[in-house]
Structure 1
Amino acid sequence: MHDIHEVATLTSKGQLTLPKPIRQVLGVDAGGKVAFDLRDGEVVVTRADAQHDDPAIGAFLRLLEADIRAGRHLRTLPEDLAHAMLANAGHGERLDQDIDGDVEL
C-alpha cells in the first residue's frame, strides 16, 4: 500500500475534497462513493463498491477483520464446502430463471 499523507480542509457545510493522490489510490472519480469507518479513534476511508452495500456483509467483514487483527484465526472450511464454493466461484445467479425441482421454505 502507498504511504501518503494529505490534508483536506473541512468547509462550513461539513464537506471536504479528497486530495487527488487519495482519489487515485482509491480509484474514485466524480460521482464515486467512499465509505468512512471509525475504528479505534481513527477514520478509515475506503472506496464504497456497490456490490458491498449490504450492511450485513459489511458488519460481517468488520467482525472478521477484528478477529484477524486480534490474532483469532478461523478454522478451515469443511473440504466438501470448500470444493462446492470453488466449483461455483465466478458463476452469477440468474434470479429471473425458474427453479427446477421442489422447494421447501
Structure 2
Amino acid sequence: MTTNQNASGITSTLTDRYQTTIPEAVRHHLGLHKRDQLQYTIDETGQVTLHKTDVSEQDPALRPFLALLERDLTDHPERLESLDGLRTELPSLTHGAEFDLNAALGPDDE
C-alpha cells in the first residue's frame, strides 16, 4: 500500500483485497485511533465522504442512557460518591492478581 500527496489531495492505493492504509494526515485530522469505526456517505452527486463514527451512533441505546445519566447527575448531585472505598476493596475483588498499571500496552491492547 502506498500513500502520496499531490496537487489534488492525499491518495492511497488499494491492495488486492480492497484494503488501504488511511494516510497519517487523514487519521490525525479525523482523530482516528485503532478499532474506530468509519462511516462512508455518498451524496447525490456521487461524492463520497468519510468520517469517524460517533460512539453514540454505534449503539442506539447509548445516547438515551448517557442522557439519563446526565439528567440524574444534574438533578441529584448528592448521590455522587467517591471511589476511595473501591481502592480498599480492589484486592479482595481481584483475588490477589497483580497488575502493573504502568506497563506498556501490547499491540492487541491498544
What TM-score bracket applies, with the shorter chain setting the length?
Answer: 0.3 to 0.5
If each structure's strand is expressed as a fraction of its own residues, which one has the higher value?
2
**What's the TM-score once normalised by structure 1's chain length?**
0.46
